[in-house]
Structure 1
């Protein structure tokens, strides 16, 4: 019998996941499954519960947003446990990349019937004591650091609406930074708005920052947006939702196994909606480091 441990973040998405919890419980009712549902009380509680479940031989399902998936992935990496994802947050970018949609009850079918798929993780070290901080999506510095901080404190409404408002406010506050990057050891310096090392390629509730990134190619996609007038950046921003921004001459994309993110001032590195490290930070890919429950087709 398969053992599933569903870890539900009750405050994710303004309580969206919690409201769907009864439906999830019913959708996972199956004589072949032993299901345990835990309402997590904090990130620490979620990590401990995930690790205990993995070490007991269970599969661990992150029911919440991208931050919850990141916490669970970090906790179970190095074990034989698979990661399941039920979208219950604002952005749900990982769920979208995996093809799960936005309905957590419908996504239960993948948890019940899906196949195990090996995917890459990424991790960050910094000069301030962070070691091996795991993420699944995009680690970025620059304007996105400001935008993510604003979005994190915003009312728990829809992902794209939150990020659109945070983008405008963040842009008003932003002053240009000079990035000092290393891409597989090669130095790259330029003034810019944003530099992001992408594993899954999507963040901010649908922004396709690295449209060609793949979760299982063993590489990071580094995307750098050069400095340009703020009004021109505003014309560029909507194209990120389509992934067509990478055609602009001010946007550079490189692939690498390791990227160092740094700048002329200290910046937070945000990943999966949360602060992960501070510059200078080294980001590296961990090929096929975890298995996830993904759609069968």
Structure 2
């Protein structure tokens, strides 16, 4: 597992912070620049030091994040869920402090953390907020933040990433249409804390964050600091079922469908029951590999500048 940067403490109250912004220059077109420029100006006007590093790819971004953390800086992940997951994963378990500047297509982990969208509010949080512990996921040895998913939605993710002429929710909708059109039900073995569940269907999602796929609330009960992972399985049915589930994600109504099953645990393995078929899995908007994948919660792995967790399930409620 990555995340070996030495711990970086937030300066004492009243002392200016030093930030290193690790930027994905391609996230959301020019969204990174549009978001970072006014934010950096506000931070500097308040007395903070802001350095900007442009990554050449995810491995380079992870190296930049570790280097900045080792220098005692607050590390800002600037971009979408892939960049934020990469930077956060590089810092997981290190004690370094992470700030998130949402500037991509999805920004789902930022949404889960209830981060402000305006530059003034975000600057205030980064300047004066106190870091709080947030869980991460170890996915086949790689730390990720939001969710790990396998099935038709991973294919939809792949197709959305390939889209050049659509942005935001439209790219995910187009990707889903393409993925479902050619989909054949997969036979999954989903093992949650040692208990095996065999299901045939569309997809399996292991969620630390309730949101994925551009503001779709796949796991409404997921809490980012409770030490648990929420599992959502969409079992077999007509292809129109998947689109019905996607429509229901806005308000959590999909959980009332008999084809949607939820589980919860600390370690989840997703694999295919039958040999000969290959399916990708996704994590934080990226596609790191193919099944099988084992996802383990890493409690309190990150120190994130984010609003306090809302009332509800918390780490103390974990069994």
TM-score with structure 1 length normalisation?
0.93
Post-superposition shift, 1:101?
Answer: 4.1
* Distance in 2 of aligned mates of 1:55 and 1:78: 13
Match of 1:62 among 67, 72, 77: 77
Q: Is the 8 A contact 1:124 1:276 kept in 2?
A: no
Equivalence for 2:263: 254
Count of residue correspondences: 291
Match of 1:147 among 150, 153, 156: 156
Deviation string, structure 1 residues 234-280 (Cα, Å, up to 9, x no partner): 22220012222011111000000000011132211101100123211
Match of 2:52 among 29, 37, 49: 37
**Pairing of 1:1-297 with structure 2 (within 5 A):** 1-103=16-118, 106-125=121-140, 132-155=141-164, 157-263=166-272, 264=274, 265-295=277-307
Q: Is the 8 A contact 2:89 2:145 kept in 1?
A: no
Q: Is the 8 A contact 2:150 2:204 kept in 1?
A: yes
Q: Is the 8 A contact 1:14 1:156 kept in 2?
A: no
> Aligned with 1:28: secondary structure?
helix
Shifted more, 252-261 versus 101-110: the winner is: 101-110
What's the Cα RMSD here?
1.6
Equivalence for 2:4: none
Q: Is the 8 A contact 1:133 1:276 kept in 2?
A: no
> Aligned with 1:117: secondary structure?
strand
Deviation string, structure 1 residues 206-237 (Cα, Å, up to 9, x no partner): 01110100000100001000100012322222
Shifted more, 170-179 versus 26-35: the winner is: 26-35
Post-superposition shift, 1:106?
Answer: 4.4
Post-superposition shift, 1:176?
Answer: 0.9
* Distance in 1 of aligned mates of 2:30 and 2:172: 19
Q: Is the 8 A contact 1:65 1:87 kept in 2?
A: yes
* Distance in 1 of aligned mates of 2:185 and 2:93: 39
Going from structure 1 to structure 2, the CA distance change for 1:144 and 1:105 (only over 3 Å counts) comes to: farther
User: Is there any run of 5+ residues in structure 2 with no aligned partner, and where?
Assistant: 1-15, 310-319
* Distance in 2 of aligned mates of 1:104 and 1:268: 36
Deviation string, structure 1 residues 27-53 (Cα, Å, up to 9, x no partner): 211454221111222212211110001
* Distance in 2 of aligned mates of 1:40 and 1:109: 26
> Aligned with 1:237: secondary structure?
helix
* Distance in 2 of aligned mates of 1:94 and 1:273: 11
TM-score with structure 2 length normalisation?
0.87
